[in-house]
Structure 1
Amino acid sequence: MTKTVDLPTFSSLDELTRLITRRRGLYVRWSRGPESDLPKTSSTDDLTGIELPGLSASPLDLEDWWGERPVRIWVARRLYDYCYLPRVKDPRTRPWVLHGTETARGPDNEPLVTQIEPLGWIADQVIVEASRIITEQPGRWGPLDRDEPPEKPPHP
C-alpha cells in the first residue's frame, strides 16, 4: 500500500481535470487518508453504525449527460459537494483521489468502492478554487451540508 506521506498532491484544479479526462474509475474520498482507511476497506453508516462493504466515495468520472460543458465545472462541483466534511466530522478530514471498483451503494446512494489505488491528496487551494468557481455559477448551489436537522413535521 502507498504510504500517505508518499502520495503526490494535486495542486490545481486544472491538474485534477486533466487526470479525470484521461482515466475512468476515479473517486474523491474525504477522510483522514488511505493509511487509516485501507486496513479495513469499509465505511460505517453514521446513522445505524452498520459496516458497509466498501469505502464511501464520490465519483469523479464525467457522465455522458454532462455533454460539452466545461470539465472544470464538473470537477469543481464534485469537490464542492462535500467540502463541509472537515468542519462537521473531523478537522483532519482531507480529500484524496483514488481509483477503485464500485461494489455497492451506501444508504445515501453513494458509491462504495473496493480494490483501491490511492492516487493523491487534493490541496486546500484546489478546494478554494472549486468553491470560487461554483459560487460564481448562476443558480443556488451549495454543499450537501446536513449539519442542520430538518424541521419536525406538523402534528395532525
Structure 2
Amino acid sequence: MLTIIAAAAENNALGKDNQLVWHLPDDFKRFKSLTSGHYIIMGRKTFESFPKPLPNRTHVIITRQADYTVSEGCKVVSSLQEAIDFCPKDEEVFVIGGGQIYHQAINLVDRIDLTRVHTTVEADAFFPEIDLEKWQLIFEEFHSKDDQHVFDFTFTTYQRK
C-alpha cells in the first residue's frame, strides 16, 4: 500500500523555506508511529531538512542531481516511479514530501494520512487539493490547541474510492 502522510494548513500550506511553519508534538508522534519500520519516499529538499536520517526507516530520496550521495541506509533515485519500484510491493510505503512529490504522488497512492492544521499561513510549498469525488474520509480525530500545540488540528485518513 502506498500512503501519503502530511500536515497541511487550511490553505494547504506545508511549509516555507524548506521548514514546517508549526510545531505539533502529537503530529510528530503520529508520524513516527505510522512510518517506523517502513520505507519513506521523499524529495531531496525534504531529506535535507532533517538533522539526520530518521531512525528505523528506509529512506528513498528523489533528486535530479546525478552525483548526489547520502549516508548508509538511504537509496537515491531519480523519479517517483523509480522510488516506488524500489520499495517492496507487499509493504506499506509512505510518501512524506515535499510539495512537488505530493503533487506527483496523489494520483498513485491508496491512502492519505493528513493532519489538517486549523490555521492559514504564508508558505511556498502546498499540499494538493483532495478531490472528494476520488477520496473518502474514513477517519477523523480533532485535537484542541494546548500549551504544546499552538493550533487546533485534526488527524484525518482518506481512502481512494
TM-score, normalization by structure 2: 0.24
Higher helix share: 1
Higher strand share: 2
